[in-house]
Amino acid sequence: MSASSERSAPKLTRVVGALAEATGMREAKLNELVRIGDGGLLAEVLRITGDRATLQVFEETMGVALEEPVAREGEPLSIELGPGLLGSVIDGIGRPLSELAALTGDFILPGASAPTLDKTKRVTFTPGLVEGIAVHEGDVLGTVVERGGFEHRILVPPGRQGQVTKFFGGERALSEPIATLADGSSLFLTQRWAVRRPRPIAGRKDASRPFLTGQRVFDFLFPIAEGGTVAVPGGFGTGKTVIEQSLAKYAEADVVVYIGCGERGNEMAEVLHEFARLKDPRHGRPVLDRTVLVVNTSNMPVAARESSVYLGLTIAEYFRDQGYRAAVMADSLSRWAEALREIGSRLQEMPGEEGYPTYLASRAAKLHERAGRVTCLGGPQREGSVTLISAVSPPGGDFSEPVTQSCLRVAGALWALDPELAHQRQFPAVDWHTSYSLYAEAMGQAFDASCDPGWSKARAEIVELLQRDGELREVASVVGPEALEDKDRLLLTAASIAREVVLGQSAFDPNDAYSPPAKTFRLARAALELFEAGKAAITKGAGYADLDLAQARRALAMMRDAPATELDARAAEVSQRIATLWRGGAS
């Protein structure tokens, strides 16, 4: 090839699936964005060999032809961060879906480009510092109050510093500067960040505060910490998505980033519809106002599925840096891993287990390490966190597969979902025998201090009850339940009640979809008291059949489903039923 043709304009030499190759790319950088074809489809450089580059394309490549042009963008895949992100719905490369609808109609067509934030939008900026002050990276310059009263803190971007010569407070467009520095440069309301690069922090902190989910089985049995990570594997129909959604609605977080990665379109439509309608139980604001939705459904391009997870994490980190508690719900990481596999296989990389690329585990680890509780960069002193809850969809429900295993090696907790429980309509279908939380002990202590000193003890008792239940049920399956001793039959019933009213929780019951820790504790305590009362009665000579467990069980179920205002009255009824559990014992 002559020197002149080497310097010729970049052109496509191959198009296959989500992959393309181009020549004339000697000066390209790894991970640099490019626009390919006559339609200007967004793509990213994966490999450079001399003059040739291999690209992964974030949009549908059908119809892209050889020799079509390639244009370099000069920067890696980045996202614009700033006021207006909350409540927005963007795709895996940061384009607002409503803007895309305005551009290409009901169906998404390739080649459309739309900025994440509307730069013409005007917001009110209130400087928090005085002119003349020296600012450093991460410093809070001032605030913008967003819809629903959320205080958006405007930060000095990482890597920038200087003396502020002037602030521009009041109503500003996102495109206008809000401050000028002594070196003549300007600071804006928005900043760009490359999504694959973790945002810098001042330091990491311990996981010591519980991340309240409002779901009893998690808060009580398998609690996670703020800044923690949990993997939620489960076969189809085990309720992963319902759990992710319940957490997005009710978990105690200031900001929720919900990543629908390779999942169903109708589901995302429902999330949008519901989040706009539902009120956050603590602030009474629509859940959508604290949420950013990153949506890349299963029929949208596969490469954007891979990037959507990094995009979501970057947004969460940005709010963390403002000093907020952000939570990321990723549904599901299996689709992210499959995107890696699909692209790896097109690159003809040497496959690892089940065809996944050999770097699956290290990528999964890096991704999980972006969660954490941190001391933020800059002043004033503040801390923030990113908690990561990732659904995993193991083929055939088999947890030994590479994606589940890669996540488990780095996640701090496992909420294992079991199809058997789902078939019994025990929801959330969390298998209490295989699930675990490495934060359990520390969080138990935190609940002892914040909710009730008996929390850890009650948890230990419920865990033991479930443990014994598992053993006894094995025996009962051989000899039949009738052949068991009365106290063992009582235990089986008590465990069944605990499963129903403590662990079981309907995501669709308006009174019970969210359970504050106090209610969780009272229900657990009541179930244990019922068991104790039954044991005492049997010791005094009662038979299993003499106990009126059915009435007590119904009273407990009513307590569980009662509105908050009636909880005390229902709890009194339960106590009454427990006191009269053995009618013969009244004498």
Partner 1 sequence: MSARQVARTYRGARAAAGPLVYVGAAQRAALGEWVTLKAKGQPPLRGQVIDAGRDLSVVQVLEDTLGLEPAGVEIELTGELAHAVVGKDLLGRALSGAQDPRDGQPRPIGEAIRPLWGAPLNPTQRLPPSDFIETGISAIDGMNTLVRGQKLPVFSGPGLPALELAATIVENARAPRGEPFAVVFCAIGITERETRTFLDRFAASGALERSVLYLNQAQDPTIERLLAPRAALACAEHLAFVHGLHVLVVLADITHYCEALREVAAAREEVPGRRGYPGYMYTDLASLFERAGVVKGKPGSVTQLPILTMPDDDITHPIPDLTGYITEGQVVLSRELHRRGVFPPVDVLPSLSRLMNAGIGKGRTVPEHRKWADQLYALYARGREARMMVAIVGEAGLSPSDRRALALAEAFERELVNQGTHRRTIAETLETGWRLMDRVPREDLIKLSDELLATRPSQRAEAQRKEA
**Footprint (CB under 8 A) of partner 1, residues 309-368:** 335, 338, 341-342, 345, 351, 354-355
| Phi, psi dihedrals of residue 482, rounded to the nearest 5° | -65, -25
Sign of the CA dihedral with 445 first, then 448, 449, and 451 last: positive
Considering beta carbons, is residue 140 or 501 the nearer one to partner 1? 501
Considering beta carbons, is residue 385 or 390 the nearer one to partner 1? 390
Q: Which of 70, 123, 256, 302 binds partner 1 (CB under 8 A)?
A: 302
Q: Which of residues 135-194 bind partner 1 (CB under 8 A)?
A: none
β-pairing verdict for 229-233 and 383-392: parallel
Q: Which of residues 502-521 bind partner 1 (CB under 8 A)?
A: 508
Q: Which of residues 88-117 bind partner 1 (CB under 8 A)?
A: 89, 97-98, 100-101, 104-109
The Cα 466–Cα 522 span in angstroms is: 18
Closest distance of CB 86 from partner 1, Å:
16
Q: Could you tell me the two tokens for 553?
A: 């069980």
Residue 453-472 contact track with partner 1, rule CB under 8 A, x = bound: --------------------
Structural contact between residues 390 and 232, judged by C-beta atoms closer than 8 angstroms: yes
Interacting stretch for partner 1, rule CB under 8 A, among 196-204, 295-303, 361-369, 576-584?
A: 295-303
Closest to 259 (Cα-Cα) out of 121, 423, 119, 386: 386
Closest distance of CB 534 from partner 1, Å:
16
Q: Which of 49, 284, 480, 587 binds partner 1 (CB under 8 A)?
A: 480
Query: Judged by CB under 8 A, how many residues of this single chain contact partner 1?
Result: 78
Q: Which of residues 535-574 bind partner 1 (CB under 8 A)?
A: 550, 553-554, 557-558
The Cα 509–Cα 149 span in angstroms is: 28
Structural contact between residues 41 and 53, judged by C-beta atoms closer than 8 angstroms: no
Considering beta carbons, is residue 236 or 436 the nearer one to partner 1? 236
The Cα 133–Cα 163 span in angstroms is: 6
Q: Which of residues 374-413 bind partner 1 (CB under 8 A)?
A: 393, 395-398
Q: Which of residues 211-270 bind partner 1 (CB under 8 A)?
A: 235-237, 260, 262, 264-270
The Cα 124–Cα 171 span in angstroms is: 4
Q: Strand, coil or helix: what is 373?
A: strand
Closest distance of CB 59 from partner 1, Å:
10
Q: Which of 39, 162, 281, 454 binds partner 1 (CB under 8 A)?
A: 39
The Cα 388–Cα 230 span in angstroms is: 6
Q: Which residue do the tokens 């809850």 mark?
A: 389
For residue 79, list its beta bridge partners.
Answer: 193
Considering beta carbons, is residue 381 or 508 the nearer one to partner 1? 508
Q: Is 84 in the site for partner 1 (CB under 8 A)?
A: no
The Cα 175–Cα 180 span in angstroms is: 14
Q: Which of residues 415-454 bind partner 1 (CB under 8 A)?
A: 423-425
DSSP string, 478-536: HH-GGGS-HHHHHHHHHHHHIIIIII---TT-TTTSS--HHHHHHHHHHHHHHHHHHHH
Closest distance of CB 202 from partner 1, Å:
38
Q: What does the DSSP 8-state code read for residue 151?
A: E
Q: Is 475 in the site for partner 1 (CB under 8 A)?
A: no
Interacting stretch for partner 1, rule CB under 8 A, among 125-133, 139-147, 362-370, 476-484?
A: 476-484
Considering beta carbons, is residue 452 or 512 the nearer one to partner 1? 512
Q: Which of 1, 3, 130, 479 binds partner 1 (CB under 8 A)?
A: 479
Structural contact between residues 427 and 246, judged by C-beta atoms closer than 8 angstroms: no
Residues near 460 by beta carbon (within 8 Å), at least 6 away in sequence: none
Closest distance of CB 257 from partner 1, Å:
16
Closest distance of CB 134 from partner 1, Å:
44
